[in-house]
Structure 1
Amino acid sequence: MMSKKMHWLWFLLMGSMVAVAGGCGQSAQEKEIKIQFNVSGNAQSQQKAAEQEKIIAEQKKRLEELQNSLARVRTSNAPQSRTEVQKIEQQIAAVKNQIQAVPSAAGQTAAVPTGAGAAKAAAPAFTGGSNSGWSMFRQNEKSRAASGTTFVPPLDLLWKYRTGEKVDGSAAIVGGVIYVGSNDNNVYAINAKDGRPIWEKQTGGPVSSSPAVVNGKVFVGSDDTYLYCLNAKTGALIWRGMTGGPVHFSSPAVAGGFVFVGSMDGNVYAFSEANGALAWKRKTDGPIAASPKVQNGLVFIGTLGKTFYALDAASGDPKWTFATQGRIFSTAALGEDKVYFGSDDKNIYAVNLANGELAWKCAAGGWVSSSPCLSGKYLFVGANDMNLYALNSDTGAIRWKTKLKGKILSSPVEFGANVYVGSGDSLFALRAQDGSQKWTYASGGSMDSSPVICDGLLVLGSFDRSVYAFTAVGQ
């Protein structure tokens, strides 16, 4: 096969693309998005081999560190040493499994095949298919997992899994399996316990959309303009539905037998969950990077055309719209009577669910593309002024704000009286009551991905091409 050249398409998501679709000009805060198409051939093979060798070297170094820690703990007389030994032994086993699972530079496959549809004799047993766990992006506004596992910082890195490109989408965790996309065009299924790959499925473009896992199926969008429905057990394609533009960042919501998703062509789409047939599409005033939320028969979603929509889930007809002064990347949080979202006009909005009228707005120090997390009377949201804000969800008053390491594109989660969020190249844990910092971890790249907490794990991706899984110390 002849090798193909690597082609890069650069566009300004918050500038030139929106100017074409929505008549908006550029600003100093524009966000540059990079899309890579059709990377293959000899150059790619050599690059992949080098990446695989690097992964093995990193894992061997991690293994050596863990073995040294194990030796120290075994010589300790501390009361908790037995628990620590068991924990470190579990981490050592996970790292060894990851080393085994990496294909060699010579092209030999490891004990666990990763091609979609390949035989999985050595792969971990699949237990997914139910809707328990964390099945879709921002599915639970409190960001709490289905289990009641205690989860308190500091955290330990249990494992990390290297993909071929940056990971800026969020993961889904169902039945002990992590599902996540990467800008290397692939969707991955990873064993949550030890980080071993179960399968991977290639699409025709980068995958920044976060998967939704419902009824044994994985729904995820790609920049190749398609919404994919995959078999959760094997990764095999069940159906795919075409949109008129890249499905970029927008993550599907599944409800009432339909799959809802936004596209950069400015349409909201509703596909049949069963067969991918198009039920309806609704043209909006601009490209869509936010994800739909569904409640009480309505679909809520914002656009880069500066408008927030409430659509009838059965027909796509607008019930009401709300205009802002900036583009809306933020995915909404739904309360009992209000919907919350941010805009790059530097405001956080609360709008009445019933009629679309403004309840309150709060000025932030920078544009807000982070998606809010609602927990009781607290609303947590990040901004590009590097601050994480905690607001009174009834009034919009600022309870506290804490400056972190970089622009906050990651969406916070609250669990166990702590808030977790990515900022710059780091993951932070803050005390929910006052914003004081309790713990941080630096990765090798920007952490714009949103954390997911489920079954005693915190999982998120990084621009260093890795998916990270953390567990609480002593767990």
Structure 2
Amino acid sequence: MRLLTLLVVLIGLTGCASFDTLSESVSGITDYFTGGEDNADPPSPLTELASPEVKVEEIWKESVGVGTDEQSLKLIPAIGGAKVIAADRKGLVEARDLQTGRLIWEAETDVQFSGGPGLGRDIVVLGSSNAEVLALNIENGAVLWKSLVSSEVLSVPVVGNDVVVVRTTDGMVVALDVKTGGKRWAYERNAPALSLRGTGSPLIAGENVIAGYDNGKLIALRLSDGKYVWETSIAIPKGRTEIERLVDLDVDPIANNGIIFISSYLGGMAAISESDGEVVWRNEKASSHSGLSNDFTYLYLADAESHVWQVDQHNGASLWQQKDLHQRRLTAPVAYQSYVVVGDYEGYVHWLSSTDGRQLGRIQISESAIEAKPVVVDGTVYVYAKDGTLAALRAR
């Protein structure tokens, strides 16, 4: 599985670097995923919790087709209208009852989904590897429209203010009409010569769309017409090799009380004023490629070594780190109540304390990796594994 992940990342690296530079970069990223020539840094084995503080109950578990077909995609369950909606790689979309997992409707399409679903009031939107954007009726799964964009969609489309905003892998941000799929506007920015495979989803914040780029810059565009509003540098490339200088903003930005929080691959994280892009604070030690979560006071992330961090929203101070799940390729954390929840590469879902990060309990829902960020509604955690396992879990 580690070599499979390595191949996915290598395929996602693009550009015209020299042979020596590319060889050095490949060597560096190989060491990162394999632990070096002697594989000296393997994932930490799980040890039995002597006295689990929470009991994790499986409410229901179902299967959604082939899942991601063991590929690294941005297929994440979405919840709306008392339904959980999930899609697989081969074009299947299912809507299931939140409480029971009962199938409400399914749509079989011929689309190779790679990002989504995103939800609007009455619409389900997904993107594909073939630059397609497909919209379905949220009540019955009927196809509403299909549009073409410039390249693969590896992020979740966002719906708001009568538009669907889509981020593509070639640097485009596109706004489509929510009723027809017609293009309202498009903003283009070139991608750097070398970048990781993946893009963060855009964020609709007030009258603006916020999007992160692989050069470490965060930009704001006017939602109505795509006009440039502001940009700021979140991370500045540093290091000797091309890999060490990667600062991709591939996580989904989150907003709270007028502040936008974003993290880069190796260049730290920052808090940005939503109105003008001014930097409120930076934390150069806390970086993530998988994503962020927040509660009322704190931020949570899993770094490149799968250490889970708690960071103060107000000043960026790092408060605790949980290192017991070292190199277990964790999902982005999700925080709720007094818990922080992450999935890992062996299909385990871990409950941590938001107070100090200690392990409270765990459950295995599949033998397949979990890459999608868990979703929480009313104390129930919904988790989607790469083999298509969709489970609803609750801590007691």
**TM-score, normalized by length of structure 2?**
0.78
- Rate the CA distance shift 1:434–1:157 in 2: closer, same or farther, 3 A: same
- Rate the CA distance shift 1:171–1:20 in 2: closer, same or farther, 3 A: farther
- What CA distance in whole angstroms lies between the structure 2 residues aligned with 1:185 and 1:346? 36
Do the aligned partners of 1:288 and 1:303 also contact (CA within 8 Å) in 2?
A: no
TM-aligned CA deviation for residue 281 of structure 1: 0.7
TM-aligned CA deviation for residue 394 of structure 1: 1.6
- SS of corresponding position for 2:15: helix
TM-aligned CA deviation for residue 209 of structure 1: 1.8
1:130-209 aligned within 5 A: 153-167=54-68, 169-209=75-115
- SS of corresponding position for 1:427: strand
TM-aligned CA deviation for residue 451 of structure 1: 0.9
User: Which of 184, 207, 223 matches 2:129?
Assistant: 223
- Rate the CA distance shift 1:13–1:263 in 2: closer, same or farther, 3 A: farther
Do the aligned partners of 2:295 and 2:336 also contact (CA within 8 Å) in 1?
A: no
Match of 2:206 in 1: 296
TM-aligned CA deviation for residue 205 of structure 1: 4.4
User: Which of 435, 439, 450 matches 2:357?
Assistant: 435
Do the aligned partners of 1:384 and 1:407 also contact (CA within 8 Å) in 2?
A: no
TM-aligned CA deviation for residue 467 of structure 1: 1.0
Do the aligned partners of 2:119 and 2:158 also contact (CA within 8 Å) in 1?
A: no
Match of 1:272 in 2: 177
- Rate the CA distance shift 1:346–1:203 in 2: closer, same or farther, 3 A: farther
TM-aligned CA deviation for residue 180 of structure 1: 1.0
Which one-letter code corresponds to 2:230 in the other structure?
W
1:94-109 aligned within 5 A: none
- SS of corresponding position for 1:264: coil
- What CA distance in whole angstroms lies between the structure 1 residues aligned with 2:87 and 2:209? 24
- SS of corresponding position for 1:210: strand
- Rate the CA distance shift 1:444–1:15 in 2: closer, same or farther, 3 A: closer
* Alignment partner of 1:253 is 2:158: yes
User: Which of 366, 370, 384 matches 2:304?
Assistant: 384
* Alignment partner of 1:454 is 2:380: no
Match of 2:368 in 1: 445
User: Which of 316, 333, 336 matches 1:396?
Assistant: 316
Do the aligned partners of 2:120 and 2:160 also contact (CA within 8 Å) in 1?
A: no
Provide Cα deviations, 1:375-416, integer angstroms capped at 9, x if missing partner. Answer: 222111111211111001121111101022535552222111
Do the aligned partners of 1:406 and 1:424 also contact (CA within 8 Å) in 2?
A: no
Provide Cα deviations, 1:51-86, integer angstroms capped at 9, x if missing partner. Answer: xxxxxxxxxxxxxxxxxxxxxxxxxxxxxxxxxxxx
- SS of corresponding position for 1:260: strand
TM-aligned CA deviation for residue 238 of structure 1: 0.4
TM-aligned CA deviation for residue 454 of structure 1: 1.4
1:49-88 aligned within 5 A: none
Give the root-mean-square deviation of aligned CA atoms: 2.7
- What CA distance in whole angstroms lies between the structure 1 residues aligned with 2:113 and 2:127? 7
Higher-helix-fraction structure: 1
User: Which of 338, 341, 351 matches 1:417?
Assistant: 338
Provide Cα deviations, 1:69-108, integer angstroms capped at 9, x if missing partner. Answer: xxxxxxxxxxxxxxxxxxxxxxxxxxxxxxxxxxxxxxxx
Match of 1:91 in 2: none
Match of 1:233 in 2: 139
Percent of residue pairs bearing the same amino acid type = 22
TM-aligned CA deviation for residue 306 of structure 1: 3.1
| Range that drifts further, 216-225 or 464-473 | 464-473
- What CA distance in whole angstroms lies between the structure 1 residues aligned with 2:153 and 2:332? 19
* Alignment partner of 1:318 is 2:238: no
Match of 1:359 in 2: 280
Unaligned 5+ runs, structure 2: 1-5, 34-52, 69-73, 192-196, 238-246
Unaligned 5+ runs, structure 1: 1-9, 33-151
- SS of corresponding position for 2:269: strand
Do the aligned partners of 1:181 and 1:208 also contact (CA within 8 Å) in 2?
A: no
Do the aligned partners of 1:204 and 1:222 also contact (CA within 8 Å) in 2?
A: no
- What CA distance in whole angstroms lies between the structure 1 residues aligned with 2:201 and 2:189? 14
- What CA distance in whole angstroms lies between the structure 2 residues aligned with 1:405 and 1:11? 21
| Range that drifts further, 157-166 or 250-259 | 157-166
Provide Cα deviations, 1:242-270, integer angstroms capped at 9, x if missing partner. Answer: 1111111x111111111111011220010
- What CA distance in whole angstroms lies between the structure 2 residues aligned with 1:260 and 1:11? 30
- Rate the CA distance shift 1:209–1:199 in 2: closer, same or farther, 3 A: same
TM-aligned CA deviation for residue 369 of structure 1: 1.3
Do the aligned partners of 2:205 and 2:274 also contact (CA within 8 Å) in 1?
A: no
Which one-letter code corresponds to 1:471 in the other structure?
R
Do the aligned partners of 1:266 and 1:288 also contact (CA within 8 Å) in 2?
A: no
TM-aligned CA deviation for residue 202 of structure 1: 3.6
- What CA distance in whole angstroms lies between the structure 2 residues aligned with 1:335 and 1:290? 18
User: Which of 357, 369, 373 matches 2:293?
Assistant: 373
Do the aligned partners of 2:67 and 2:87 also contact (CA within 8 Å) in 1?
A: no
Do the aligned partners of 2:249 and 2:263 also contact (CA within 8 Å) in 1?
A: yes
Do the aligned partners of 1:181 and 1:209 also contact (CA within 8 Å) in 2?
A: no
Match of 2:39 in 1: none
Provide Cα deviations, 1:257-303, integer angstroms capped at 9, x if missing partner. Answer: 11111011220010111111110010023286110111121111112
- What CA distance in whole angstroms lies between the structure 2 residues aligned with 1:201 and 1:346? 41
